[in-house]
Chain A
Amino acid sequence: MIPRQFQITIALLLVGILISGIFIIKLTHKEQAKTQLEGEERPVAPPVGGKQEHVQVLVAYDDDRALRWREATVFMPEERSLRAKEALRAVLAQYLQNPSPHPLGKGADIKDVYLVNNSTVVVDTTSQFADGHPSGILPEELTLTSLIETLSANIPGITRVKFIVDGKERETLAGHADLMSFYEVAAVHELAKEFE
């Protein structure tokens, strides 16, 4: 015969274990959801070295149809194509925060940046960047202009930029802005003046 006090203690311990277990499971689910959300909405932290730098990024603001220079602090590597990639991701990070001045689709990111002859840049974006991009002449134009101008400001010497999506050419970003042509940086600079 087990004494009564032992029975009560064991029962209390079991209840405590049960409550702790439920709490731990809930916490785990919450953390998993948070991690998943961050993974979808923001570019993954760059797995590169380099030192922390202040870079100028041109950010689009839909509400007042404007492009404004902002300063962002990012880890910038030495190699030019990696620097270009990090500068572009700094722009996207602005758009993927909540609230966003210029919302983009979840998972919008830069996969790679290729430098040809040190003057031509080919930017490879994720498919989510184009598939989830709001359709419209203005939002598409603002996105491309902000990215090209940011590239030009942080990677001196580039003259032409082309965008590909998931490694392939695509006709338009989201039905409007041309992705088949190479963008002349000088022409885009003039374009950006319309939104100052």
Chain B
Amino acid sequence: MRWSKGLLVALAAIALLSCTLLLSLADPAKQFTIYTPQSSYSIEILDRQGQAYIGLMELLEPLGATGMRSGDSDWVLQLNKAEARFTEGKDKAKIRGNSIALSGNVLVENHRVLVPLNASFSILSSLLHKNIDFHPAGRRIFVDNAGIHFTSELKKGEKSSLLLNFSQPVNPSVNQEGNKSKLVFKREPLISDITNQPFDDKAIRSLNFSEDNGNATITITGDSALHVSLGSDGKTILVQVVQPPAPPVASVSPQAPAPQPSPAPSVAAQSSPTPEPPIGTQGHTPPAFLVMIDPSHGGDDRGAYLADKLDEKDLTLSVARKLKIELQDRGIAVRLLRDADINLSLEQRAEATNAQHAAVYVAIHAGVSGQEVRVYTSALTSPSVGAGQFLPWETAQASSLSRSQTLAQTISGELRKKDVQTALLTTPLRPLNNIIAPAVAIELSSDRSNTQDLVTQRVQNVVAAAVASGIAQVHSQIEAQK
């Protein structure tokens, strides 16, 4: 009996261990990164019929594509006066009057047009008439010779160091894995002809360049743990061997390492045995600071009619996607409440936000009443009276109202810094009152005669960047308080 009990416990432990191992090995979300000389952005890769697909508008909208409309099964879009026509179920598209093979059928899901990932090269080169460099294995594509190059210089000595020089400023995230330092470039169009460069040095052994899942990675292997520091101009990275620390004389709690005097901002000086995964890809552990973006309306709810073939629901989604990228660039975990043209009730939006324990909720709206960006908080005034652990649904926001106002003021300040006309207001907008976390609504507004301004990438990018900066500031303040 005792033996069978022990066996059961052992089996349970093995099962638990296997599950943990499987979860840790789970693939991160597949993504495809597009680099242009002005910006870069990543889009989700979907698996359809055993083939990799991407959203057509997600690929082309950041480049300025507009006016997608459908006939029965035809979808037409404009980009720089060039027209492209896609037909559902067909494996060819008509771009600038020429027939282009797509290597797979065009799919349509909830008014979202999907095209094979491998067709991105022919679509972009036909539409843009610019040089396109496609790296299918690394899921990266470079438009109009966008690219950052680097050189490496090894300085041998008692304390060897490796100096990396980049043609443009970079800001990689650094993961330390034992004696390897991994520099992951998520936004930078880093390219290299060299994949593996061995060094004749005991301290720093090799440099490896790889591309995977829309990112570029430089891996430097040393004899022991390495210290990575970024130069003040962002164009140089210095990699040095960390001197082995003296053995501990007493048990020390795992607090943050003591700051090291260094003129250059240190990217990652920690040498923890298990590297922290990037925020947003932490498996099943919810991130500590999650921003929930609500692209308002969607599906049958078109929102405000802004202009010919432009509904509020489409604009809010476009801005929300830009804001997501901006926040991810700042290392902040973020989710969109909808990433397609789907119906989502106001209750569902509030429930999902509260269930995910979002740290911040941002609703995106657009209108045609005045040329400005308005930042709203809830118009609630009375404090929420809860019963035990429960909060009244109609006034759930009351407990976070002061933090919402702080967030709104910070975002408004960032918008003003970018010379955007802005107004701070309160509103009885749904579902702000039902959100537990600090919640704001951002409304991009234009006069009826200037609605095309709202569609321009420049306006959307500026607003997304300012809102992201505001949220990042609040995030920093919270971290500092911790």
Check B301 for interface membership: any CB of A closer than 8 A: yes
Contact status B297-A187, CB under 8 Å = no
Contact status B370-A177, CB under 8 Å = no
A46 to chain B, nearest CB (A): 29
Q: Mark A158-196, 1 if CB is under 8 A from B, else 0.
A: 000000000000011001111011011011101100100
Q: Which residue of B lies closest to A139 (CB)?
A: B369
Whole-angstrom CA separation of A138 from B370 in the bound complex = 10
Contact of B367 among A136, A144, A186, A187 (CB under 8 A): A136
Contact of B429 among A139, A177, A187 (CB under 8 A): A177
Q: A135-B305, A175-B301, A175-B303 are in contact. Are A191 and B426 (CB under 8 A)?
A: yes
Whole-angstrom CA separation of A62 from B447 in the bound complex = 11
Check A13 for interface membership: any CB of B closer than 8 A: no
Check B374 for interface membership: any CB of A closer than 8 A: yes
Contact status A175-B297, CB under 8 Å = yes
Check B379 for interface membership: any CB of A closer than 8 A: yes
Q: Which residue of B lies closest to A187 (CB)?
A: B381
Whole-angstrom CA separation of A187 from B426 in the bound complex = 11
Contact status B429-A137, CB under 8 Å = yes
Contact status B369-A178, CB under 8 Å = no
Within 354-403 of B, Cβ neighbours of A (below 8 Å) are at 365, 367-370, 374, 376, 379-382, 394
A30 to chain B, nearest CB (A): 32
Q: Which residue of B lies closest to A186 (CB)?
A: B381
Contact status A135-B394, CB under 8 Å = no
Contact of A181 among B303, B365, B428 (CB under 8 A): B428
A100 to chain B, nearest CB (A): 13
Which one of A135, A139, A187, A190 has the greatest number of beta carbons of chain B within 10 Å? A135
Within 160-208 of B, Cβ neighbours of A (below 8 Å) are at none
Contact of B304 among A136, A180, A190 (CB under 8 A): A136
A35 to chain B, nearest CB (A): 30
Q: Which residue of A lies closest to B381 (CB)?
A: A187
**B368 — which chain A residues lie within 8 A by C-beta?**
136
Q: Mark A129-166, 1 if CB is under 8 A from B, else 0.
A: 00000111111010010000000000000000000000
B12 to chain A, nearest CB (A): 49
Q: A181-B394, A194-B425 are in contact. Are A137 and B303 (CB under 8 A)?
A: no
Whole-angstrom CA separation of A175 from B370 in the bound complex = 19
Contact status B443-A184, CB under 8 Å = no
Q: Which residue of A lies closest to B301 (CB)?
A: A175
Check B346 for interface membership: any CB of A closer than 8 A: yes
**A70 — which chain B residues lie within 8 A by C-beta?**
none
Check B427 for interface membership: any CB of A closer than 8 A: yes
Q: Mark B298-326, 1 if CB is under 8 A from A, else 0.
A: 00010111000000100000000000000
Contact status A137-B430, CB under 8 Å = no
Whole-angstrom CA separation of A143 from B367 in the bound complex = 15
Contact status B369-A183, CB under 8 Å = no
Whole-angstrom CA separation of A188 from B426 in the bound complex = 10
Check B42 for interface membership: any CB of A closer than 8 A: no
Q: A138-B445, A181-B433 are in contact. Are A171 and B370 (CB under 8 A)?
A: no
Check A54 for interface membership: any CB of B closer than 8 A: no
Q: Which residue of B lies closest to A144 (CB)?
A: B428
B477 to chain A, nearest CB (A): 26
Check A68 for interface membership: any CB of B closer than 8 A: no
Check A65 for interface membership: any CB of B closer than 8 A: yes
Contact status A187-B382, CB under 8 Å = yes
Whole-angstrom CA separation of A187 from B398 in the bound complex = 13
Contact status B426-A138, CB under 8 Å = no
Within 24-51 of A, Cβ neighbours of B (below 8 Å) are at none
Which one of A65, A137, A178, A181 has the greatest number of beta carbons of chain B within 10 Å? A137
**A139 — which chain B residues lie within 8 A by C-beta?**
367, 369
Q: A186-B381, A187-B379 are in contact. Are A135 and B312 (CB under 8 A)?
A: yes
Check B441 for interface membership: any CB of A closer than 8 A: yes
Within 417-455 of B, Cβ neighbours of A (below 8 Å) are at 423, 425-430, 433, 441, 443, 445
Contact status B381-A190, CB under 8 Å = yes
Q: List 21 A-B contacts (CB under 8 A).
A: A65-B370, A135-B303, A135-B305, A136-B368, A136-B443, A137-B429, A137-B441, A138-B370, A141-B428, A141-B429, A144-B428, A171-B346, A172-B430, A175-B303, A175-B304, A176-B430, A177-B428, A184-B382, A190-B381, A190-B426, A191-B428
Q: 6 tightest CB-CB pairs across the interface, nearest first?
A: A136-B367, A135-B304, A187-B381, A178-B428, A178-B430, A138-B369
A residues at B contact (CB < 8 Å): 62, 65, 134-139, 141, 144, 171-172, 175-178, 180-181, 183-184, 186-188, 190-191, 194
